[in-house]
Structure 1
Amino acid sequence: MNARERVLVERELVVRRYREGVALSRLAEEYGVTAGWLGRRFDEWGEVRRGLVAALLYRRAGARVFRGRAQRRTSEEVGEARAEFVGARESVEARYREGVSAAALAREFRVSATFVAERLVEWGVSRREQRERWEGPGVSPSGSDASPSGSGVSPSGSDASPSYGESVN
């Protein structure tokens, strides 16, 4: 019996497993048929197929599912969040110095990262440098030459690009 015949013979099992949440693509893979072919069989059999959102909800735990945009907050709500952040100044400063990122603090207090950065500067807290995205010589986050020799050679080995306003010749 070939793969397609097996699906047709085990139709009830295939449909039951699909209704239990097994993805059509996974069923197709298990039976050795294409998802398109199996989808057409479901259509022929009158089986209602899940839409994209419903299919995403059946994914394994931990998958991020887009559930629409977050609702906009009123200016009062934003003001309250900012006031809460400023009210927790000592805790915020201590946690930032312990290594909690400005972005993490912004998420926690539901304020913008820019607001957090501005308050840290205003409060005289020294800002940490951005971490390098990759290891090795190259351009530092501030844009200055970070190669050990100061030669201006990029990681690819070619000469560094000219700065804004510099001539190429």
Structure 2
Amino acid sequence: MRYSVPTLRRPTEAERAAAREAARADSATIIERYKARESLARIAADYRVTEPWLRLRFTEWGVPRRPLHESHAHRRPAGHIFRGRMPRRTRAEIKQAQHECADDRTVVIERYQAGESAARLARGYQVTPAWLAMQLETWGVQVRDRAAAAVVRGPGPRRPGARTL
């Protein structure tokens, strides 16, 4: 069985010319929208003209182009890429954080045995999870593996509509 893909009808030359004339006639509104930080693509789509054509009109009308970095200002900040990693610190700062964690030994052990993850504890004390796991072993605490941690923590929230096996 053959599937037919619906094709979009391309505008005729007369329709394109009419859209361009409408855009030229409404140049004040277009410039105002652009200066109000509306995207060039959205304005072009609303007037049924192409982005390059509209960009040329902005040059023709004397509208300054926005800096390239401004187009990304609305996007999600890049902090999510680092996933909680800490900025570079000096050796003295690292040693200080490790001493603070070691000084709170009983609190760390209680929180870990209550089910809090080593990664969360490490973030709280600004030490690496590997260092904290090594300290827990040194202190005689039974370190959980990932499967045991999931049992202590529980399965977590279920997504609506998720299938069960």
Normalised by the length of structure 2, the TM-score is 0.56
- Report what 1:100 is aligned to: 116
1:86 aligns with 2:102: yes
The equivalent residue for 1:116 is: 132
Aligned-pair identity (%): 33
Distance 1:108 1:6 in 2: 59
Higher relative contact order (CA 8 A, sep 6+): 2
Instruction: Indicate if the aligned counterparts of 1:81 and 1:111 stay in contact, CA closer than 8 A.
Output: yes
Q: Where does structure 1 lack aligned partners over 5 or more consecutive residues?
A: 133-169
Instruction: Confirm or deny that 1:125 pairs with 2:144.
Output: no
Where does structure 2 lack aligned partners over 5 or more consecutive residues? 1-14, 149-165
Aligned to 1:64: 77
What letter is aligned with 1:123? Answer: W
C-alpha change, 1:38 and 1:77, in structure 2 (3 Å) is farther
Quote the residue 1:13 is aligned against: 29
SS at match of 2:109: helix
Q: How many Å apart are 1:77 and its aligned residue?
A: 1.0
Instruction: Letter of the 2:65 partner, please give it.
Output: V
8 Å contact 1:42–1:49 — kept in the other structure? no
The one-character-per-residue Cα deviations of 1:41-85 (angstroms, maximum 9, x if unpaired) are 445544222323x333223xxx2335xx97521111111111111
**1:120–1:126 CA contact under 8 A, matched in 2:** yes
Number of aligned residue pairs: give it: 126
Counterpart secondary structure, 2:107:
helix
1:88 & 1:26 partners in 2: Cα distance? 56
Structure index of larger Rg: 2
1:48 and 2:68 are equivalent in the alignment: no
The one-letter code of the counterpart of 1:117 is A
Q: Which has the higher helix share?
A: 2
Structure 1 range deviating more: 4-13 or 73-82:
4-13
Q: Is the 8 A contact 1:3 1:33 kept in 2?
A: yes
What is the RMSD computed on CA atoms of the aligned residues? 3.3
| Secondary structure, aligned partner of 2:146 | coil
TM-score by length of 1: 0.55
Asked if the contact 2:31/2:63 (under 8 Å) is kept, the reply is no
Task: Report the Cα distance in structure 2 between the residues aligned to 1:14 and 1:107, rounded to whole angstroms.
Answer: 49
